[in-house]
């Protein structure tokens, strides 16, 4: 029965069975989501540790903290860990896995065992990468440019490449699962236009994962073969073409950034209506903008290569297309803002993260206009301007979206409330720390500091901005540690959550917190539109004090 | 009771009402039809990813073929066109037996299904055997890329045509990478069909439930189609004699 | 601009001002857009803060508004695109009579060869007001030639030439950075661009130990390596006559027509069988591994100078022949 006393815990997916086997052999999408949560958090802190060392080294112009080769490994592995082992899985594998079946009224994903396989592939990839790190690491940059990676680097390129290859299959299978689930397992009455926009965002993300990741996979295979057998596919000394590598690499790696941002946009699109008590403004436009980003995202890859040696005319076309892909993102920002108009707004932690996302994503996105511009890119390409741009989107955008989503759905996932005061404080610290870390880097980049520089003693004028950036990074680090601490705390001491503490719309809130293993007592029948806040009363207390 | 929503123990209608279904229904699905649709869509999406996977290599191949036409044509002519053609015929026959096997399953003819599945396996193994012979020949001719690569024989064969050995090695690198990747997929297909054939012998499939046969068949047809593209691109460049 | 907290490097080339102008426009545009969005959000958050008894107004959307805020940004974006395109076109089209400097990048240094013969390591002396075209290649991995004061960079690739041109406007010493990660000492692969008044530059040229002009060095190599045996300046040679070939279209034996640019000459030396001129046999020896990048540059400079009024002078290409659209980008 739905009602239960506090002294007698209802059966839910967490307490339904105990023991390590019940977790490691689970096919319950919710448990798999938690397995991913633990794994990606682990890698987040590894990547974060590398970032800390990088920022410490850059406090002074001289390379005096670590050796040059070590620094080169640090930034390479920071990038690879953060992108392949944290950002790409993060929202889809944790929040997506947990919520996609719940939001559409299904009992599980279409292929639960493949879902578990996804996680095991991720773990195999992760362990391989850890072994690579412990036995020397890799120093090619996350981009593996040839011929440096195939013929000059003395580090574990093959092992890193293989680890990322396996991680790619984890990503592909997750995407495959989501697409089939969304197509075939929606509850009766859940038409496409009644789907939460979180689902649309994950659908678009999954399309990219399916079509883009295999190209990275085959490119890594060719890099590994070339390095192992001294072939001449990408190495000009043996008759190959290094630009071919770059085209193949960026054909995936550009859409990959949309894999990283679209889910976060989906999260924000759930949070803003809830804490404005209003339906989203322009549902169809927001849904279509996700699809447009996925499609156009495949057409712009060579904007990473404007000064790489491509032809003038290629550059023109890719620049123009890059401006077109900016439009759907802009539409989303306007729609979120318009949703707040004449709303009834409260400032819960998820909403604070959503505000942070909108602000920082807007800034990051606007700086993308600089990079897409053929007049500006030759100056700022491969400088700290680019680093600032993508961190604004990946960290200011995707990570804040992830944290906002974790706070929003934490009651559903754990059955507990996190401490709201600490939540808001952490959100503020993250926002301030983030801006202090990365805004100076825009200026630094325009001044000309190239990226991937271990030592800048020839240019001491770069120091002040680097010091500011490192100071910000220490603040940002605190902001990230806090949620980990209080989420863990809340699992034992947090206030038990009701089924729908936010009075939010969405099928996931119609079941218990935490949900039972089968998600719903009875299959839901959907006869209402998405974001039906008109018919949902406001919560008694807006947010927990 | 297991923690998964999929009931694995045998059960009767008392578990969820009087509707009957085969033991193959996994309970996160509402009915067998939804399960079949989902499995089918899943396989088609997976094949789309495979197209992108092979696509990267085809792209590299096309670029280099344009830039190093002579070396690629010479390399192509050094392949054994007879073995390649036989292999093409073998694969096409295997796709036929697969399709006939699916048909047999649809009609509930278990023995016939098993026969066709075993024939498919025979053809698949024949393909792999012939491919192995081809590779062995390349090994003997020192055409395997790497330290022992030597294309002097090709250079000598075409005194009028400038052959650059580095570009020749690029041809063979792509030849082995592409046929290797294809062969790997064949091996996986053979493994898959061995399992399917075994289960068919056990009577697992009937006219109501043969989804795994159908989806494995889709996979096999895909691997066949990749070969249909590989064969002309690798073997049939410029069959007319070079000047 | 601001002495203690500069927002941009010194402006020392003709393009720097153009790039900064576009940059400032974009900064202003971004500031306006950001402030607008932030203000609206903060205003809405305050104005529509949750109050007892005041419900939210459910608004489904507004197609006219959506179209407006899609089209309007797109138009602005196209303006930015066009503006950037004009600057980029200008940056990628070297003037015909630019002075050429050959650059060879290697882990982890820059080697430069002036036409007049001077060689420099990690430094480039140029006079104010002269068009300079860099013809660059790498000996090993990909590097990138970046001069923030000029607002320019260009990747330098192994196996082919890439070019970069500029005209310096302000005397001074400016940073040269490698901006494509290239291994251990990537951050140490730096140097200086020294821009001098013309008189000072002449003095610098005259002083110091200069080698022969690049084309002359190339002429010497041409004899030394035996090229002149087959590439005679009449029709008797076993190899094509190279006088005046640079910049012209060449018919190959397989029917293709290519332009004889720097990459073509370089490839013809390193991998002569790649493109055989129509009517000739593939008998040219392969020089891969037998000549260094600097020697290749000298040979290229020499071939360029053939058929010109004086060695090293700028080409007076006959009107009948199409001027080459350089294949190197």
Q: Work out the burial of residue A237: count CB atoms within 10 Å of its CB; fewer than 13 is exposed, 13-18 middle, 19 or more buried.
A: middle
In this predicted structure, what is the pLDDT of residue B5?
Answer: 35
> Does A6 map to a domain?
no
DSSP β-ladder status, C249-251 and C99-106: unpaired
> Does residue A459 register a pLDDT over 80?
yes
Average pLDDT over residues A218-234: 93
In this predicted structure, what is the pLDDT of residue A232?
Answer: 86
CA torsion angle C235 C239 C242 C248 (round to 10): 100
> Does A307 map to a domain?
yes
> Does residue A181 register a pLDDT over 60?
yes
Best probe of the A interface among B38, B58, B167, by most A CBs < 10 A, is B38
Q: Is the Cβ pair B164, C271 closer than 8 Å?
A: yes
**Do A211 and A175 meet the contact criterion of CB atoms below 8 Å apart?**
no
> Does residue B19 register a pLDDT over 80?
no
In this predicted structure, what is the pLDDT of residue B238?
Answer: 73
> Does residue A156 register a pLDDT over 70?
yes
- Is the CB of B187 inside 8 Å of chain A's CB atoms? no
Q: What's the first-to-final CA gap in chain C, in angstroms?
A: 33
A81-94: pLDDT as tens digits: 999 999 999 999 99
What is the distance in angstroms between the Cα of C262 and the nearest Cα belonging to chain A?
15
Angle at B168 between CA B162 and CA B173, to 5 degrees: 170
Q: How many domains does chain A have?
A: 1
Chain A 379-438, residues with CB within 8 Å of chain C CB atoms: 379, 381-383
> Does residue A535 register a pLDDT over 90?
no
DSSP β-ladder status, C99-106 and C109-114: antiparallel
- Which chain B residues contact residue C282 at CB under 8 A? 160-162
Cis peptide before A469 (omega within 30 of 0): no
A466-510: pLDDT as tens digits: 999 999 999 999 999 999 999 999 999 999 999 999 999 999 999
If you classify domain C1-50+92-211 with CATH, what class do you get? Answer: mainly beta
> Does A396 map to a domain?
yes
Find the domain containing A198 and state its range. 27-535
In this predicted structure, what is the pLDDT of residue C286?
Answer: 85
Q: Is the Cβ pair B49, A229 closer than 8 Å?
A: no
Name residue A31's beta-bridge partners.
Answer: none
Give chain A's mean pLDDT: 94
User: DSSP code of A537?
Assistant: P
Domain range list for chain C: 1-50+92-211, 214-305
- Categorize the per-residue pLDDT at B225 as very low, low, confident or very high, splitting at 50, 70 and 90: very high
Q: Is the Cβ pair C84, A455 closer than 8 Å?
A: no
Q: What is the ipTM of this complex?
A: 0.92
Q: Is the Cβ pair B30, A523 closer than 8 Å?
A: yes
Candidates 1.10.760.10, 3.10.180.10, 3.80.30.20, 2.60.40.10; correct CATH number of C214-305? 1.10.760.10
Q: Which of A202, A282, A275 is nearest to A29 (CA)?
A: A202
In this predicted structure, what is the pLDDT of residue C298?
Answer: 92
> Does residue A543 register a pLDDT over 90?
no
Average pLDDT over residues B104-133: 96
Distance CA A190, CA C301 (A): 71
Q: Which helix (H) or strand (E) holds A102?
A: helix A97-104
A4-47: pLDDT as tens digits: 444 346 889 998 889 999 999 999 999 999 999 999 999 999 99
A258-288: pLDDT as tens digits: 999 999 999 999 999 999 999 999 999 999 9
- Is the CB of A238 inside 8 Å of chain C's CB atoms? no
In this predicted structure, what is the pLDDT of residue C315?
Answer: 39
Q: Which CATH superfamily is domain B43-235 in?
A: Cytochrome c oxidase, subunit III, four-helix bundle (1.20.120.80)
What is the distance in angstroms between the Cα of C245 and the nearest Cα belonging to chain A?
24
Q: Which of C235, C260, C257 is nearest to C245 (CA)?
A: C260
A384-408: pLDDT as tens digits: 999 999 999 999 999 999 999 999 9
A345-371: pLDDT as tens digits: 999 999 999 999 999 999 999 999 999
Chain B 56-75, residues with CB within 8 Å of chain C CB atoms: 68-70
Name residue C156's beta-bridge partners.
Answer: C143
In this predicted structure, what is the pLDDT of residue A541?
Answer: 57
- Categorize the per-residue pLDDT at B1 as very low, low, confident or very high, splitting at 50, 70 and 90: very low
Q: Which helix (H) or strand (E) holds C39?
A: helix C14-47
- Is the CB of C239 inside 8 Å of chain B's CB atoms? no
Pick the more confident residue, B132 or A539.
B132
In this predicted structure, what is the pLDDT of residue A536?
Answer: 87
Name residue B170's beta-bridge partners.
Answer: none
Q: Work out the burial of residue B13: count CB atoms within 10 Å of its CB; fewer than 13 is exposed, 13-18 middle, 19 or more buried.
A: exposed
Chain A 126-145, residues with CB within 8 Å of chain C CB atoms: 139, 141, 145
- Categorize the per-residue pLDDT at B241 as very low, low, confident or very high, splitting at 50, 70 and 90: low
In this predicted structure, what is the pLDDT of residue C264?
Answer: 93
Angle at A235 between CA A233 and CA A240, to 5 degrees: 50
Q: Work out the burial of residue A154: count CB atoms within 10 Å of its CB; fewer than 13 is exposed, 13-18 middle, 19 or more buried.
A: exposed
In this predicted structure, what is the pLDDT of residue B70?
Answer: 85
Q: What is the DSSP string of C120-151?
A: EESEEEEETT-EEEEEEEESSS-EEEEEGGGT
What is the distance in angstroms between the Cα of C320 and the nearest Cα belonging to chain B?
30
The low-confidence residues of chain C, meaning pLDDT below 70, are 1-3, 209-210, 308-329
Percent of chain A with pLDDT over 70: 97
Q: What b/e string do you get for B140-172 counting C-beta neighbours within 10 Å, with b at 16 or more? A: eeebbbeeebebeebbeebeebbbbbbbbbbbb
Distance CA A337, CA A358 (A): 9
Torsions phi, psi for C296 (to 5 deg): -60, -45
- Which chain C residues contact residue A467 at CB under 8 A? none
What is the distance in angstroms between the Cα of A33 and the nearest Cα belonging to chain C?
33
Give chain B's mean pLDDT: 88
Q: Which helix (H) or strand (E) holds C257?
A: strand C257-259
For the domain that residue A125 is a member of, what is the CATH number?
Answer: 1.20.210.10
The minimal CB distance from B49 to the residues A112, A214, A231 is found for A214
Q: Name the least confident of A84-98, A312-326, A373-387, C270-284.
A: C270-284
Q: What is the DSSP string of B59-123?
A: HHHHHHHHHTHHHHHHHHHTS-HHHHHHHHHHHHHHHHHHHHHHHHHHTT-HHHHHHHHHHHHHH
> Does A540 map to a domain?
no
CA torsion angle B126 B127 B133 B137 (round to 10): 160
- Which chain C residues contact residue B68 at CB under 8 A? 274
Torsion region of A194: left, alpha or beta (phi above 0 gives left; psi -120 to 50 gives alpha): alpha
In chain B, % helix, strand, coil (3-state, to 5) comes to: 70, 0, 30
> Does A17 map to a domain?
no
Average pLDDT over residues B101-109: 94
- Categorize the per-residue pLDDT at B3 as very low, low, confident or very high, splitting at 50, 70 and 90: very low
Distance CA B144, CA B164 (A): 16
Domain range list for chain B: 43-235
Distance CA B164, CA B149 (A): 13
CA distances from C206 to A393, C103, C118, C126, C202 (A): 53, 21, 10, 14, 6
- Is the CB of C276 inside 8 Å of chain B's CB atoms? yes
3-class DSSP state for residue A496? strand
Q: How many CB atoms lie within 10 A of CB C289?
A: 8
Average pLDDT over residues B101-106: 95
Q: What is the DSSP string of C274-295?
A: GSPBTT--S-PPP-TTTS-HHH
**Do C20 and C151 meet the contact criterion of CB atoms below 8 Å apart?**
yes
In this predicted structure, what is the pLDDT of residue A130?
Answer: 97
Distance CA A186, CA A525 (A): 10
Q: Name the least confident of A196-200, A410-414, B27-31, C139-143.
A: B27-31
Percent of chain B with pLDDT over 70: 88
């Amino acid at each position: 029965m739905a009602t239960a006393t506090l002294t007698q815990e209802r059966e839910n997916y967490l307490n339904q069975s105990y023991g390590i086997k019940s977790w490691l052999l689970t096919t319950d999408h919710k448990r798999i989501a938690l397995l991913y949560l633990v794994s990606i958090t682990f890698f987040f802190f590894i990547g974060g540790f590398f970032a800390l060392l990088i920022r410490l080294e850059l406090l002074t112009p001289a390379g005096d903290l670590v050796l040059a080769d070590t620094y080169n490994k640090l930034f390479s592995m920071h990038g690879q860990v953060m992108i392949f082992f944290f950002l790409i899985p993060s929202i889809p594998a944790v929040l997506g896995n947990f919520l996609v079946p719940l939001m559409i009224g299904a009992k599980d994903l279409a292929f639960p065992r493949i879902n578990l396989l996804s996680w095991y592939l991720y773990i195999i990839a992760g362990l391989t990468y850890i072994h690579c790190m412990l036995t020397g690491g890799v120093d090619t940059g996350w981009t593996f440019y040839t011929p440096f990676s195939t013929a000059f680097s003395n580090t574990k390129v093959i092992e890193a490449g293989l680890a990322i290859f396996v991680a790619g299959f984890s990503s592909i299978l997750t995407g495959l699962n989501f697409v089939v689930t969304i197509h075939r397992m929606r509850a009766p009455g859940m038409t496409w236009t009644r789907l939460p926009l979180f689902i649309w965002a994950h659908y678009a993300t999954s399309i990219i994962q399916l079509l883009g990741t295999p190209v990275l996979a085959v490119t890594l295979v060719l890099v590994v073969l070339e390095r192992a057998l001294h072939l001449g596919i990408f190495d000009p000394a043996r008759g190959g073409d290094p630009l071919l590598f770059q085209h193949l690499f960026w054909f995936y790696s550009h859409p990959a950034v949309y894999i990283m941002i679209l889910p976060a946009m989906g999260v924000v699109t759930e949070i803003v209506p809830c804490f404005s008590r209003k339906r989203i403004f322009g549902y169809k436009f927001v849904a279509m903008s996700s699809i447009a980003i996925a499609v156009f995202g495949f057409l712009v890859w060579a904007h990473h290569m404007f000064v790489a040696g491509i032809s003038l005319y290629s550059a023109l076309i890719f620049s123009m297309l890059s401006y077109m892909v900016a439009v759907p993102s802009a539409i989303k920002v306007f729609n979120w803002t318009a949703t707040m108009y004449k709303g009834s707004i409260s400032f819960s932690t998820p909403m604070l993260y959503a505000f942070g996302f909108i602000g920082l994503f807007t800034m990051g996105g606007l700086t993308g206009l600089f990079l897409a511009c053929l007049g500006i890119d030759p100056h700022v390409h491969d400088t700290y301007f680019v680093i600032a741009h993508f961190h604004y989107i990946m960290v200011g955008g995707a990570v804040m979206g992830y944290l906002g989503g974790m706070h929003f759905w934490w009651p559903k996932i754990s059955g507990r409330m996190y401490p709201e005061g600490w939540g808001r404080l952490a959100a503020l610290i993250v926002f301030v720390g983030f801006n202090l870390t990365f805004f100076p880097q825009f200026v630094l980049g325009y001044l000309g500091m190239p990226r991937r520089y271990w030592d800048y003693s020839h240019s001491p004028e770069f120091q002040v901005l680097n010091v500011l950036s490192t100071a910000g990074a220490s603040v940002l680090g605190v902001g990230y540690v806090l949620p980990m601490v209080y989420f863990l705390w809340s699992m034992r001491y947090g206030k038990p959550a009701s089924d729908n503490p936010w009075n939010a719309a969405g099928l996931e809130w119609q079941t218990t917190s935490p949900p039972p293993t089968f998600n719903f007592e009875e299959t839901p029948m959907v006869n209402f539109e998405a974001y039906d806040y008109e018919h949902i009363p406001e919560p008694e207390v807006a947010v927990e004090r | 009771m297991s923690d998964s929503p999929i009931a694995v123990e045998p059960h009767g209608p008392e578990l969820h009402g009087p509707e009957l279904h085969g033991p193959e229904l996994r309970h996160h699905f509402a009915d067998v039809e939804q399960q079949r649709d989902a499995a089918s869509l899943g396989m088609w999406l997976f094949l789309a990813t495979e197209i992108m996977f092979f696509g990267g290599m085809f792209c590299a191949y096309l670029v280099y073929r344009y830039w190093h036409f002579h070396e690629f044509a010479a390399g192509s002519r050094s392949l054994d066109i007879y073995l390649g053609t036989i292999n093409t015929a073998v694969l096409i026959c295997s796709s036929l037996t697969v399709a006939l096997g699916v048909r047999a399953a649809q009609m509930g003819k278990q023995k016939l299904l098993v026969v066709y599945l075993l024939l498919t396996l025979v053809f698949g193994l024949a393909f792999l055997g012939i491919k192995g012979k081809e590779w062995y020949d390349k090994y003997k001719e020192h055409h395997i890329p790497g330290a022992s690569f030597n294309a002097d024989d090709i250079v000598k064969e075409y005194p009028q045509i400038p052959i650059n050995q580095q570009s020749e090695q690029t041809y063979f690198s792509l030849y082995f990478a592409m046929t290797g990747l294809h062969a790997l997929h064949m091996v996986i297909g053979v493994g898959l069909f061995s399992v399917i054939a075994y289960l068919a012998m056990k009577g697992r499939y009937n006219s109501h439930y043969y989804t795994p046969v159908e989806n494995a068949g889709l996979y096999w047809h895909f691997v066949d189609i990749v070969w249909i593209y590989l064969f002309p691109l690798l073997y049939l460049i410029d069959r007319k004699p070079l000047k | 601009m601001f002495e203690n907290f500069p927002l941009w490097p010194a402006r020392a080339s003709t393009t720097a001002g153009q790039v900064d102008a576009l940059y400032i426009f974009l900064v202003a545009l971004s500031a306006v857009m950001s402030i607008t969005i932030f203000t609206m959000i903060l205003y809405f958050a305050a104005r529509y803060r949750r109050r007892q008894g005041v419900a939210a107004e459910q608004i489904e959307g507004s197609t006219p508004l959506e179209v407006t805020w899609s089209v309007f940004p797109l138009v602005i974006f196209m303006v930015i695109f066009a503006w950037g395109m004009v600057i980029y076109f200008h940056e990628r089209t070297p003037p015909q009579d630019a002075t050429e400097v050959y650059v060879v990048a290697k882990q982890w240094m820059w080697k430069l060869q002036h036409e007049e013969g001077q060689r420099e390591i990690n430094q480039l002396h140029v006079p104010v007001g002269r068009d300079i075209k860099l013809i660059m290649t790498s000996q090993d991995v990909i590097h990138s030639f970046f001069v923030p004061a000029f607002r320019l960079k260009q990747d330098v690739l192994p196996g082919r030439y890439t070019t970069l041109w500029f005209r310096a406007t302000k005397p001074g010493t400016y940073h040269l950075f490698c901006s494509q990660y290239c291994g251990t000492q990537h951050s140490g692969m730096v140097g200086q661009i020294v821009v001098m008044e013309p008189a000072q530059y002449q003095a610098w040229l005259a002083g110091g130990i200069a080698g022969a002009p690049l084309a002359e060095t190339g002429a010497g190599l041409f004899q030394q390596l035996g090229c002149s045996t087959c590439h005679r300046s009449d029709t008797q040679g076993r190899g094509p006559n190279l006088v005046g070939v640079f910049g012209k279209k060449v018919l190959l034996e397989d029917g293709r027509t290519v332009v004889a640019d720097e990459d073509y000459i370089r490839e013809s030396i390193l991998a002569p069988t790649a493109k055989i001129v129509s009517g000739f046999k593939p008998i040219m020896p392969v020089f891969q591994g037998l000549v260094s990048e600097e020697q290749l540059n000298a040979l290229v400079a020499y071939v360029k100078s053939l058929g010109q009024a004086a060695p090293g002078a700028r080409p007076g290409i006959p009107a009948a022949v199409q001027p080459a659209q350089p294949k190197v980008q």
